[in-house]
Amino acid sequence: MSAPLLIEIGVEEIPAGVAPRMGKALLTALSKTFKDSNIEISELKLGVTPRRLLLHAASCPVMQADREQVLWGPPENIARKDGKPSKAAEGFARKSGLNVSDFEFADKGDGKARYMRALQTVKGRVVADIIAEVMPSVLRGLPSPKQMQWQDGEARVDAFIRPVRWIVARLADEIIPFTFAGIQSGKTSYGHRMHADAKGEISVTEPLVWLNERMVVADRDVRKAMIVQGLSDAAKAAGVSLVEDDALIEEVTDLTEWPHVITGHYLEDFLRLPIEVSRIELKHHQRCFSSHDGNGKTSNVFFAVANIKSKNPALVAHGNERVVNARLADATFFYDRDPKETLESRVAKLSNITFQDGLGMVGDQVGRMRSFVLDNAAKLGVDANAAQRAAYLCKSDLTTGLVGEFPELQGYMGGIYAGMDGESSEVVQAIAEHYAPAGADDALPNSATACAISVVERTDKLLGYFHLGKIPTASADPFALRRAAIGLIRLLANETNTINMTLTEVLQEASKQWNQQRVTITISDEIQAAVTHFIHDRLLGMADAFGVSRSACDAALGASIELPLAQHLAVAKLLTGFANSEAGQAVAAANKRIANILKKSGNVSAKIDAKLFEKDAEISLFNQLSAVSSNFPSLPSEQLETLASLREPVDAFFDDVMVMADDEAVRNNRLALLSQLRELFLRLADVSRL
């Protein structure tokens, strides 16, 4: 027999972006439970809104199927004594609920011995009982940035992202009984907060229809499509074009259950503000969408996504307009006042702004960044004068009223104000772009100077926070250090604005600025090593994004000669294709063998004595290795081709030569030959990691 399954966890509003992750984790956990329990159900559908996580299957077995399992007991030499079952065999059979006669002796497949073996039929359990057992632990394990406990008249032993208000757990008409966070599962669900008849027994066969009748669109994809269509229709009706913002669409999708688009207008006088000011205000403070007029210029029309269809949408629009106009009026006040002080005159104020407790002031950071770009301008590919000027001024907008009111505008307004101060276009662009990329998918700066400053800033931040021990954990990264590392990797890997510095050089130079400044801390070699390891871990995780395999990326980073990151990735691309070839697999296997031999042998002499060679294969390998080493090409593609040509002499060497010969001198000579061979490969990459 089968029946429809419904599970719904009702909560207070979950923050945007969190509910979809929790819903997917809930779906994964229950799917695994069913698979592990050999329970075949129809498609398990997920519903996610700010107030609920819902799973529904049209068909789920009521009883778990009976199954047979193999029981393995003690080996024959223990299970038999004098040709009869031993006490150990009898005890194992009794413990298993079987008789000794139910067992036979069989090989497990390891060829070591025969063991007691029996087939046991395991009766299927009630599926509702299985679900009830796992649900509390599944809910406790759902991922969330923070969990809370609450007290509303009853002691709560469970924590959750937000207070749990109801739980529905049904298999047809039967309640799946369990308790979580003080809430007992039942049949009662709730629709939209504003629905007059929101509470009731939810349909177990058509829960999404039941919710839809109560103004809840539980299917997130459907809800998102409604918002996209609603925005498109509203923009068309208003005669404007929507400023695309996928991130904001995702956010409002997670903030609504019954979305409805409202059109509003702010005062035309505010159109004189820089374009990002109104957009940032609308997006970050009101969750509203901006628009362009027919000429592609900023329009004063904006769109809000309400959580309910109002009977008086004009009144809702007026409320949004009042708030937006008030905020933009504040922005206009600061925009008119801020330019009365130049960015240069504001630099001194940065010494009053804390960079981070224990790391000094922002003014100290600016000093380090300025010195870094001055000392390394050529390798950074920038003009030293323009770069130091941009670094000197890039944080000054933090002291302005507009950035103080709208922190999201830092950098952008710095560029605007720098232009008003008459700074060069290169400095203006560098200041405006130096925070980019803000995320893993954001565009890189167009300006080489901005790229250079951005590299310095991220490196400075990573070293400082690692010194304080504020290293990200698996569940927390409050200072966005992973994002800083990912941004740094993308900047160093950029082939447009090339940074001709290795990662080690970047970290050493940034550490030098900390250590020479002597105002706060000293960056140790151990901290530099920890940051290097952290960045390498992020880089390996990004391998797919760069079009290389993780193992090829790891191999490239294992080279004995460190190169700028972009060059290591170029090598990784070569290795990605090479590793899948027959030659690549053979060369990688040989290198693994060589690495293992040398690792076990400890210190190996670098000197090779040709007189000690006894086999033609080792003489051939030595001669070809000598020839290749003396004329090793500089291009990675040619290096790889040259190294691949050594496959045959290496294979012949391992076929014909016993490396660990009894004669110590011969053995050490062969180890020295392998050591030189490995050193040659390491000039390109550690191929043994492929």
Taking the C-alpha atoms of residue 565 and residue 549, their distance in angstroms, rounded to an integer, is: 15
pTM: 0.81
Maximum Cα interatomic distance, the chain, rounded to a whole number of Å:
104
Beta-carbon contacts of 521 under 8 Å, excluding residues fewer than 6 positions away, are 358, 359, 464, 467, 514
Q: What is the pLDDT of residue 155?
A: 66
What is the model's pLDDT at position 391?
A: 98
> Average pLDDT, stretch 17-38?
94
For residues 76-88, give the mean pLDDT.
Answer: 88
Would the pLDDT of 659 be above 70?
yes
Residue 374 has pLDDT above 90, yes or no: yes
Decide if pLDDT at 27 tops 90: yes
Query: 644-659 as b/e, with b when 16 or more CB fall inside 10 Å?
Result: bebeebbbbbbeebeb
CATH class for the region spanning 2-64+126-212 = alpha beta
Residue with tokens 């010494």: 351
> What DSSP state is assigned to residue 688?
G
Read off the pLDDT of each residue in 632-641 and give the average, rounded to a whole number: 92
Q: Which ranges in 548-663 belong to alpha helices (H)?
A: 550-557, 565-579, 582-601, 616-630, 636-644, 647-656
Contacts of residue 129, defined as CB under 8 A and 6 or more positions apart, other chains included, come to: none
At a CB cut-off of 8 Å and minimum separation 6, what does 612 contact?
665, 666, 669
The pair of structure tokens assigned to 107 is 């090989």
CATH architecture of 572-689: Orthogonal Bundle (1.10)
Tens digit of pLDDT for each residue in 113-163? Answer: 888 888 877 788 899 999 999 999 999 999 988 888 888 766 678 899 999
Contact between residue 305 and residue 321 where contact means Cβ atoms under 8 Å apart: no
Tens digit of each residue's pLDDT (9 = 90 or more) over 570-618? 999 999 989 988 888 889 999 999 999 998 888 888 789 999 999 999 9
CA dist., res. 582 & res. 471, Å (int): 42
Q: Which residue has the higher pLDDT, 66 or 165?
A: 165
Q: Indicate whether 519 pLDDT > 80.
A: no
Per-residue pLDDT averaged across 2-7, rounded? Answer: 95
Q: How far apart, in Å, are the Cα atoms of 413 and each of 285, 324, 349, 366?
A: 18, 19, 17, 17
Residue 208 backbone phi and psi in degrees, to 5: -70, -35
* The token pair that represents 287 in the structure block: 């969750």
CATH fold for the domain made of 344-541: Hypothetical protein af1432 (1.10.3210)
Sheet with 288-289: list strands edge to edge: 260-265, 301-306, 288-289
Looking at the DSSP assignment, which residues form a beta bridge with residue 114? 107
Q: Among the listed ranges 38-42, 51-55, 377-381, 464-468, which one has the minimum average pLDDT value?
A: 38-42
Helix (H), strand (E) at residue 199: strand 199-201
Question: What SS3 state is found at 448?
Answer: helix
Taking a C-beta distance cutoff of 8 angstroms, is the pair 379, 373 a contact?
Answer: no
229, pLDDT greater than 90 = yes
Check residue 170 and give its pLDDT: 96
Average pLDDT estimate for 522-542: 96
Query: Mean pLDDT over all residues of the chain?
Result: 93
Q: 175 — phi, psi (to 5°)?
A: -80, 135
**582 to each of 301, 361, 547, 644, how far by Cα in Å?**
62, 57, 21, 11
Is the distance from CB of 276 to CB of 245 less than 8 angstroms?
A: no
* Percent above pLDDT 70 for the chain: 99
Domain boundaries, the chain: 2-64+126-212, 67-122, 220-339, 344-541, 572-689
Instruction: Taking residues 322-333, report their average pLDDT.
Output: 96
| Residue 558 to residue 567: CA distance in whole angstroms | 13
Residues 684, 369: Cα–Cα separation, whole Å: 33
Q: In what order do the strands lie in the sheet with 114-122?
A: 67-75, 114-122, 104-107
Distance, in Å, from the CA atom of 336 to the CA atom of 420, rounded to the nearest integer, reads 12
pLDDT at position 314 is 93
CA distances, 291 to each of 20, 189, 227, 545 (Å): 28, 39, 16, 32
Neighbouring C-beta atoms of residue 288, cutoff 10 Å: 25
Stretch 402-416: mean pLDDT, rounded?
95
Least confident of 41-55, 202-216, 604-618: 604-618
Helices 481-492 and 525-541 pack at an angle, to 10 degrees, of 80
